[in-house]
């Protein structure tokens, strides 16, 4: 192909690549997505990430074409997401092998990674929609324990069954879901201080323990908040305990909890806030909770060690996909 890199990628990214008869093995229970081979081979062929003469003048324009058209490749959303993840990993792990320029790599990936984030959130949206009602029920602290726990289990199972990227990437996707799910639970609980009391905190704590045990996972962030709610009385009496009980929470947030704590059958008096404010040099307890933002940084580098990244180019040269453009075969290795 003698066209410019910009036009070459326009053709590559708009083409519906034929499925490989013998797709490359990504891991034990997943194969490489069809478009990864021609896209990464084209990236190597273009040399835009290297210091080759002439690469500089095409780098910016070609990157622009890729950023605009890569999210629209004519494949399913799951295939687009997996292709993006693997493209990022191959670039990050191939810098030395392929003589990539570090600065160009960082600039290029700085525009590709947001595409992956958008794709990932779209993948997760059905799971997040399913979990919204569970978050609302959990936050009331007035729920049937066994019924809600069964519903939590069902949602987790549906999520696991819907992710088809291989074990390691499935675990990454599930981990991002849990991060967002955890933030949703924290925001829902903390935005309604009328529910701040010892009995509710114990109900939340017991439920989270059962859920974590059943699913063999950990929710450390919400645990910090629940610990502060359970130990609010002790912290109000001995403010220095805050640093042992919930060291990662902002001191103003703990003041918000103490200042809005409600009496119940276990704690029958209003908690003192002044000793805590004095200890942490605060003028007053905040009147409202500022919701936590959704997580927006998803590190995928650790995934690489569990994947067969060197298999991306293991492909018989008689495959139709390999022969659409002659240069693709030069990057392939026979099985």
Same structural domain, 225 and 313: no
Residue 215 lies in a domain: yes
Contact 73, 291 (CB under 8 A): no
Same structural domain, 72 and 168: no
Same structural domain, 59 and 179: no
Residue 62 lies in a domain: yes
| Strand 30-31 to 25-27 pairing | antiparallel
Same structural domain, 39 and 102: yes
Chain-centre distance for alpha carbon 177: 7
Residue 143 lies in a domain: no
Same structural domain, 152 and 274: yes
Range(s) of the domain holding residue 230: 148-279
**Which H or E element spans position 30?**
strand 30-31
Same structural domain, 80 and 153: no
Q: If DSSP codes are grouped into helix, strand and coil, which group holds residue 163?
A: coil
Phi and psi, residue 211, nearest 5°: -65, -45
How many domains does the chain contain in total? 2
Same structural domain, 46 and 116: yes
Do you know the residue count of the chain?
335
Residue 225 lies in a domain: yes
pLDDT at position 296: 83
Structure tokens at 176: 């991002």
How many other CB atoms sit within 10 Å of the CB of residue 77?
11
Structure tokens at 155: 């949602």
Residue 290 lies in a domain: no
Same structural domain, 105 and 66: yes
Same structural domain, 156 and 219: yes
Residue 114 lies in a domain: yes
Same structural domain, 153 and 268: yes
Residue 211 lies in a domain: yes
pLDDT at position 133: 95
Q: Walk along the chain (335 residues) and give the pLDDT tens digit of each residue.
A: 557 999 999 999 999 999 999 999 999 899 999 999 999 999 999 999 999 887 788 999 999 999 999 999 999 999 999 999 999 999 999 999 999 999 999 999 999 999 999 999 999 999 999 999 999 999 999 999 999 999 999 999 999 999 999 999 999 999 999 999 999 999 999 999 999 999 999 999 999 999 999 999 999 999 999 999 999 999 999 999 999 999 999 999 999 999 999 999 999 999 999 999 999 999 999 999 999 998 888 889 889 999 999 999 999 888 999 999 999 999 998 76
Residue 133 lies in a domain: no
Phi and psi, residue 26, nearest 5°: -85, -45
pLDDT at position 57: 87
How many other CB atoms sit within 10 Å of the CB of residue 330?
12
d(CA 332, CA 51): 23
Same structural domain, 212 and 311: no
Same structural domain, 178 and 268: yes
pLDDT at position 2: 59
């Amino acid at each position: 192909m003698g066209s410019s890199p910009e036009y070459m990628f326009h053709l590559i990214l708009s083409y519906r690549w034929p499925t490989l008869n013998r797709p490359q093995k990504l891991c034990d229970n997943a194969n490489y997505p069809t478009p990864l081979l021609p896209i990464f081979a084209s990236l190597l062929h273009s040399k835009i990430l290297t210091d080759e003469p002439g690469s500089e003048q095409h780098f910016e324009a070609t990157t622009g074409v890729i950023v605009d058209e890569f999210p629209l490749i004519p494949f399913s959303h799951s295939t687009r997401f997996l292709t993006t993840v693997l493209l990022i990993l191959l670039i990050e792990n191939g810098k030395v092998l392929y003589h990539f320029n570090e600065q160009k790599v960082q600039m290029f990936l700085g525009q590709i990674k947001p595409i992956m984030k958008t794709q990932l959130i779209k993948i997760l949206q059905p799971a997040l929609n399913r979990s919204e009602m569970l978050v609302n029920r959990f936050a009331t602290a007035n729920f049937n324990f066994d019924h809600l726990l069964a519903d939590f289990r069902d949602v987790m199972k549906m999520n696991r069954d819907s992710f088809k990227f291989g074990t390691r990437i499935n675990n990454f996707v599930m981990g991002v879901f849990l991060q967002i799910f955890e933030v949703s639970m924290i925001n829902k609980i903390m935005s309604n201080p009328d529910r701040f009391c010892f009995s509710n905190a114990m109900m939340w704590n017991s439920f989270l323990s059962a859920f974590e045990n059943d699913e063999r996972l950990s929710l450390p962030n919400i645990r910090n908040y629940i610990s502060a709610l359970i130990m609010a009385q002790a912290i109000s009496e001995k403010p220095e305990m805050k640093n042992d009980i919930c060291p990662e929470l902002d001191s103003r947030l703990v003041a918000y909890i103490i200042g809005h704590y409600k009496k119940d059958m276990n704690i029958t008096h209003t908690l003192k806030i002044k000793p805590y404010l004095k200890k942490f040099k605060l003028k007053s307890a905040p009147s409202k909770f500022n919701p936590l933002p959704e997580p927006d940084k998803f590190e995928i580098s650790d995934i690489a060690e569990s994947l067969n990244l060197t298999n991306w180019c293991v492909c018989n040269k008689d495959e139709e996909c390999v022969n659409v453009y002659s240069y693709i075969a030069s990057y392939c290795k026979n099985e």
